[in-house]
Amino acid sequence: MALKDFYEDKKFVQSRIPVIRAVAIVVFLFLLLGLWNLQILQSHYYKELAEKNQLRSITLVAPRGKILDKYGQIIVDNRPSFTLSLLRENLPSIENSLDLLASGLNVEVDALHSQVEKHRKQASYLPIVIKEDLTPGDLAFIESHRVEFPTLDIIRQPRRLYREGQLAAHLLGYVREISDRELASKEFHYCKAGDLVGKGGIEMGSNLVGGKRP
């Protein structure tokens, strides 16, 4: 009787071997299909996710030096301001909402589109400046529309404060975003698009020359 049971158990096990093989093959094919899906079919999608998880450097704009008169009184100072920007890689997420953004920031829609197109071909890590020197109303609008504009960044950066207004403007000069011509010159080789540089007068003289103060 025991011998009979042994042969029956053996036949039972042998009859299940094809089933086990079939299950193993199905599992293997399932894993292979998943690998194919990850590596081939959706490789672009997962590559974008990986790139978004990368660390990126954020440039903090240092304040320019104060300009004093011979008595030590401050003529040109710095004041805090806020600049609205976004990275080019985040542009598709708000392109359809530029009309709403222009309306909320009280800027011309065409001017906003021009600004975006001007910087569209820049490196993805360079921010596109949407508006500088934001007003309290602008800040309130952005914060209340974070759902529509989740990728916009508000960056705190110093701006020049000329205490005497236009007085002696010809002597003091002014600062403005670096031009394409200046970017191409050796004098400003250390600068990048969007940097503010001195234009004329003392402000121009306080620019870095070859990466060092004159």
Q: Are residues 110 and 156 in the same domain?
A: yes
Whole-prediction pTM? 0.55
Range with the poorest average pLDDT among 54-63, 107-116, 149-158, 179-188: 54-63
With H, G, I as helix, E, B as strand and everything else as coil, classify residue 61.
Answer: coil
Radius of gyration of the CA atoms of the chain, in A: 31
**Assigned domain for 6 exists:** yes
DSSP letters for 120-148: TTS-TTSEEEEESS--HHHHHHHHHTTTT
Domain that holds residue 187: 164-214
Mean pLDDT, the chain, whole residue set: 76
Q: Which residue has the higher pLDDT, 34 or 11?
A: 34
Distance CA 213, CA 159 (A): 20
Residue 160, burial from CB neighbour count under 10 angstroms (0-12, 13-18, 19+):
buried
Q: What is the pLDDT of residues 118-154, one digit of tens each?
A: 777 776 667 788 888 899 999 999 989 888 888 888 8
Joined tokens for residue 181: 């011509």
- Domains of the chain: total: 3
On whether residue 59 sits in a domain, the answer given is: no
**91 found inside a domain:** yes
Task: Kindly state whether residue 103 falls inside one of the protein's structural domains.
Answer: yes
CA-closest candidate to residue 95, choices 123, 124, 126, 116: 116
- Asked if 146 and 186 sit in the same domain, the reply is no
Based on the fold, state whether residues 93 and 157 are members of the same structural domain: yes
| DSSP tally for the chain: helices H, then strands E | 8, 6
CATH of the domain at 147: 3.90.1310.10
CA angle at residue 83 from 78 to 88, to 5 degrees? 140
- 70 domain residue, yes or no: no
Question: Residue 68: inside a domain, yes or no?
Answer: no
